[in-house]
Amino acid sequence: MTSRSRALILSAAAALLFPQSRLPAASHAPVRGRNGMVVSADSLASSAGVSVLRRGGNAVDAAVAVGFALAVTYPEAGNLGGGGFMVIRMAGGESTMIDFREKAPAASTRDMYLDAGGRPIREKSLTGPLAAGVPGTVDGLLTALNEYGSLGREDVIGPSLALADLGFPVTDHLARALGGEIPRFAIFPSSMKTFTRKGRPYRWGDTLRQPDLAVTLRAIMERGAEGFYSGDVAARIVAEVKKDGGIITADDLRDYGSVERDLLVGSYRGYEILTAAPPSSGGVLLLQILNSLERFDLQRLGWNSSGAVHALAGSCQRAFADRSEYLGDPDFVQVPVGELVSKEYSAARLADFDSMRASPSARISSGDPSLADHQTTHYCVADRFGNVVSVTFTLNGLFGCKAVVDGAGFFLNNEMDDFTVKPGALNMFSLVGGARNQIEPRKRMLSSMTPTIVVKDNRPFLVLGARGGSRIPTTVAQIIANVIDFGMNVQEAVDAPRVHHQWIPDTLLYEKRALESDVVRNLGSMGYVLQEVEVTARAEALMIDSAGGWVLGGADPREEGYALGY
């Protein structure tokens, strides 16, 4: 019996044994646009992107505008001091990935976050400039603009400069986020100066002006990447870093460069999947999970039924086990990407899958492929020309390392925690790291970001991504399955409650209302340890209805996301 036949029989058996969950309650209708769409975590950023589209800019122009606007209006994750990945598909079919992931400073050492006994010192890789990698966002956005955009820097940075200079009303979400961090901001005078009102928290409706950030944005607008990576802004970054024990130097900033890489290309039930390649682990995980899920009849099993969740959890466990062993920066280590994302390899990984029992993570190790990122934000853009862009960028933790560059107005990241501080140790997302992801000078740390484009009949169909560290690729996989397997529209697919398993810890997380009580009991009897959580991850997506001529936006209510079309 072939492994595929076995998987189909198992899924049919599970459908008979386990009752199906009902689909989630109806969502509000997707936002519609005839000429373009921007979906992001913030209404002002989405508006900045649509204003660029209205002026004749393409999706890349708008994506760059949204990125700079989020650096102003969404400082918990939008950034100039972090990094990320941009996935682009142009109307003619050309596709690419801009890798602007942060890099380890040249003075980094493998044991820089260990004590004398070789034990990780968690706070050193999380708080303060020593936790920061060399920022990549500015170079990445401008590289995309130069190579694939059609407008100038003033056109795309102008909206964010105005927001920083004139200010904008603080939302309830931003007020709560800033207020909750004041005890950690208090370590850094520059953070208190920038994001409190003389020590008092900002309230909903207050106007937040950021004159220092406006100066930085003007320098970038006038001088391009040099306005950030050299001159006054770079000097301020180095001064801030040195003041608090960091190691980023002027040479690190001057030498930084984003990289254009080939995308990962896979398929799921006849749809083409374009997603991020290493040093993001997200795309590899996504394709591994989808390859495994393709071997099950999810529609027959039913949305979030015991059988469907069991199939997803088993697929995720095996993919995350491989992540720990095989993934890292391809410029430094050999990554067997082709083998890992092959359908034959996924079939082999499911050989020990038991349809009736959970697979204890302790018994799941990495496979043999030779046989075949907490605060991130995502946004999507489609234009009237047929171009689409999917962008995920991040500071890693909420407000990064908590330190604002004095006089420049932006937070530095704490991405060094995404390296393997010590093989086998857990990072802030409880991910287990392997040797391929250990710290080396100028190396890019592994990420979970998964900006993705789904193509149907050689046309863009679905553009999506998420925030939530290790929970990103599992979220993207579930939204794709919600659309393709369960026929949901884009808003329903984003709204639907989600589950998550990442191998270690051996716990199946589920959002409230994701699983019915009988499904929870069934999964518990199968051996799963379950934990209900408020949110697994937050996602933004758009869908293109080629037949009807509409672009449909699905913003995530979990983060007050905002879809805007025209």
Q: Across the strands, what pairs with 510?
A: 499, 532
Q: What Rg, from alpha-carbon coordinates, does the chain have? A: 22
137, 194, 275, 376: which is the annotated catalytic residue? Answer: 376
As a whole number of angstroms, the distance between CA 410 and CA 229 comes to 14
Q: For residue 19, count CB atoms less than 10 angstroms from its CB and return exposed for 0-12, middle for 13-18, buried for 19 or more.
A: middle
**Whether the Cβ atoms of residue 441 and residue 104 lie closer than 8 Å to each other:** yes
Q: For residue 279, count CB atoms less than 10 angstroms from its CB and return exposed for 0-12, middle for 13-18, buried for 19 or more.
A: buried
Helix (H) or strand (E) holding 403: none
- In degrees and rounded to multiples of 5, residue 336 shows phi and psi of -80, 65
Is residue 96 among the annotated active site residues?
Answer: no
Nearest residue to 265 (alpha-carbon basis) of 66, 89, 445, 55: 89
Instruction: Label residue 402 left, alpha or beta by phi (over 0 means left) and psi (-120 to 50 means alpha).
Output: left
507, two tokens: 């716990």
For residue 220, CA distances in Å to 154, 157, 224, 234 come to 9, 8, 5, 11
Nearest residue to 528 (alpha-carbon basis) of 519, 537, 538, 536: 519
99, two tokens: 């890798």
Distant-in-sequence, close-in-space partners of 204: CB < 8 Å, separation ≥ 6: 170, 171, 172, 175
DSSP-derived pairing of the beta strands 452-456 and 31-33:
unpaired
As a whole number of angstroms, the distance between CA 7 and CA 2 comes to 9
**Whether the Cβ atoms of residue 60 and residue 386 lie closer than 8 Å to each other:** no
Nearest residue to 381 (alpha-carbon basis) of 27, 84, 86: 86
Distant-in-sequence, close-in-space partners of 268: CB < 8 Å, separation ≥ 6: 290, 291, 293, 294, 454, 480, 484
What burial letters (b/e) apply to 250-268, b meaning 16+ CB within 10 Å?
A: eebbeebebbebebbebeb
The tally of CA atoms less than 13 A away on the side-chain side of residue 91 is: 10
Taken as a whole, the chain contains a residue count of 566
3, two tokens: 């492994």
- In degrees and rounded to multiples of 5, residue 406 shows phi and psi of -60, 125
Instruction: Label residue 270 left, alpha or beta by phi (over 0 means left) and psi (-120 to 50 means alpha).
Output: left
**Whether the Cβ atoms of residue 513 and residue 24 lie closer than 8 Å to each other:** yes
559, two tokens: 């983060």
As a whole number of angstroms, the distance between CA 193 and CA 510 comes to 39
- Output DSSP code: residue 122: G
Catalytic residues: 376
